[in-house]
Structure 1
């Protein structure tokens, strides 16, 4: 039986965490120069039928509009953003950085999985380079650190390595997908028997069987990969990953990085670097991303890009045992005597315009609020004060208060 008092509290805590995680992610994305955009909740079914992605068409939520056209509830954000850019540019005019926080809709066979989930992600439209890819992976890592995670692992692979190795093999698309699944699961027992069903060069077969073992730090992976049958493109891929890793080392993120050439393309449109992020005590990736330089060509444009997305519900779940209010304090709390209500409203409006988060309530309700705050403003008849954890400073009017806040914030 549901405890009627406990249930609303749990729901309140869940939604508070949900919103504060989004706020943290928004702030970090903005520090890297990304601008927030939105796409339509309904898209034409044909938009997704022409692009090979991870979304099975049977998983899409379909509706019929008043003209009889088939629409789908948005199952992916990257595709409509790329399509919209392609309608305006045939080639990339300059580097473009966008981020989004939107619902996506997919109906899977798992009845325990919600049809609706909230994704937060970025799309960086730019030419391929180790520097650009490293910046995006650094952003993903910094985002997880902002959320309080310490045990972070970013696994990095490259779509071209596997694609080059299986190119020209006598395998259907379905059989290649079966092989991908075996390699992704590192099922070394079944990879060999699966390949022996086909007429494949023994040297190539041996190279494919080695892929699940190409996992670990960059030096060891490159050393083991050099014993594998390498084409010129595969050698270029390894060289690219070496440069990428060197750049991530400059960011100070080396401890979080693992190279995994068995990380197979999980999105049909990825063509370069692919990566996924893990955090402590959670067995599934909390973020996934990669480079998709060829997606724009599906819409008649050249729009190279890299991006990643994370699911907010998963991040809430993995932070379930954490105290949100301790990690995400309110900026300012205003406590006032009834006679100072008008002044309290004036201060609150001004601070909110300056992007402070503000709570305001009369002194008689002070004990009801236990939320941690950075600054407390106390308005009593004939006495106004601003306090932080170290000092209490009197002020006489709004102008002086704003000067004090700027000084305290600047010295923090």
Structure 2
């Protein structure tokens, strides 16, 4: 039998990275109890146009059906999932967990970007609590670790902090959006002059000007907040974020978390905790999410929830700076002599039913295949052998083989 170590390592193509990422995403989401859900590729235009603070209508890809009704190619997944639950799930009193992996379509502002993107995400329908919010952020961290990233940063903020600051200010919608852009960019040079042109109380202006500096380690940010004039609601928001952070410490993830009170997500339905994730040497977020407790009200039912989404294409690009090696593209290789084909097929069928990926090779063809496997099985005329790492073990039948595989899995 040829040992696995003799095979050269193989660099993954983008397509292989894409599939590998999706496989990891599916597995990780399921470990947190999420079930997969799908929504229609075509939705009524009114679904998105009537939801307050929804996505930019200029980004929607519009089509007209045979009846003359305007439809849009799915630009977002959270909104149709929420609508579907309100319409079709009779009991919304219990917590619900769903995940999706499907395409979204938006008109890009950059001509080099694609109209179609594959998005994966989760929607956790539950009451607001630090425990639930921390669990979702922990899931995001664990997913990034599953994908091989080590330098992970989750920026954690709260939509209510900025909203509370500006809700009583005499600002137009355009001015609010300008201020959001300046804060998001941490443009400390222009925030002050911009506010001086407006009728903003000096105390409030001072708080707004300091927002870009309220970024960093949770303890440091909490210290910087001292002496700043805050409303009771803003204090509660900060306390809530600290509670979420404390629970993330229990997960052992505190070194991945950065508090950013200037974080503003442009999906306007977010109302509570918001967050975005970065990985090494990639200049934009690879995932974004937050709590949206009021979106269900758009469809007539209270349906608090939190979720996040990531674009698979961005994750593929993020791996370009990493030497992603495919050491084991398959689980099991079965190498057989000619008169053992029937036994090889029987074993392959059984292993595939148990979710192993399996390839079959006759002995004369096996030498031409350079792919590696975690396990190798050799079926010869008078003996069968199982190879895992450096150890070769004989086996008599399928029962013994399965025992060896279970032992190998336990040692991985």
Normalised TM-score (structure 2): 0.94
Q: Is the 8 A contact 1:158 1:263 kept in 2?
A: yes
Matching residue of 1:3:
none
Q: Is the 8 A contact 1:73 1:105 kept in 2?
A: yes
Matching residue of 1:95:
95
Q: How does 1:375-394 map to 2 (within 5 A)?
A: 375-394=375-394
Secondary structure of 1:368's match? coil
Distance 1:48 1:346 in 2: 52
Deviates more, 1:365-374 or 1:71-80: 365-374
Q: How does 1:127-146 map to 2 (within 5 A)?
A: 127-146=127-146
Q: Is the 8 A contact 1:103 1:116 kept in 2?
A: yes
Deviates more, 1:365-374 or 1:176-185: 365-374
Matching residue of 1:110:
110
Secondary structure of 1:51's match? coil
- The count of residues paired between Structure 1 and Structure 2 equals 402
Q: Is the 8 A contact 2:156 2:263 kept in 1?
A: yes
CA 1:14–1:226: 2 relative to 1, 3 Å: same
Q: How does 1:164-203 map to 2 (within 5 A)?
A: 164-203=164-203
Please say if 1:301 is aligned against 2:301: yes
Q: Is the 8 A contact 2:12 2:325 kept in 1?
A: no
Q: Is the 8 A contact 2:11 2:324 kept in 1?
A: no
Please say if 1:59 is aligned against 2:55: no
Deviations 1:319-338 (A, max 9, x none): 12423413x54221111223
Matching residue of 2:7:
none
Matching residue of 1:322:
323
How big is the shift at 1:226? Answer: 2.9
Deviates more, 1:366-375 or 1:115-124: 366-375
Distance 1:70 1:215 in 2: 44
Distance 2:32 2:368 in 1: 38
How big is the shift at 1:348? Answer: 1.2
Distance 1:390 1:126 in 2: 49
Secondary structure of 1:404's match? helix
Deviations 1:231-261 (A, max 9, x none): 1110100110111110000100011110000
CA 1:146–1:372: 2 relative to 1, 3 Å: same
Distance 1:348 1:14 in 2: 28
Matching residue of 1:366:
366
Deviates more, 1:368-377 or 1:182-191: 368-377
Matching residue of 1:254:
254
How big is the shift at 1:12? Answer: 7.6
How big is the shift at 1:90? Answer: 7.3
Distance 1:24 1:309 in 2: 15
Matching residue of 1:270:
270
Pairwise CA RMSD: 1.7
Deviates more, 1:333-342 or 1:343-352: 333-342
Distance 1:195 1:411 in 2: 62
Distance 2:112 2:246 in 1: 42
Deviations 1:307-352 (A, max 9, x none): 01111111111112423413x5422111122322222221111111
Q: Is the 8 A contact 2:337 2:362 kept in 1?
A: yes
Secondary structure of 2:401's match? helix
Q: Is the 8 A contact 2:48 2:54 kept in 1?
A: no
Q: Is the 8 A contact 2:94 2:126 kept in 1?
A: yes
Matching residue of 2:120:
120
Secondary structure of 1:206's match? helix
Deviates more, 1:10-19 or 1:79-88: 10-19
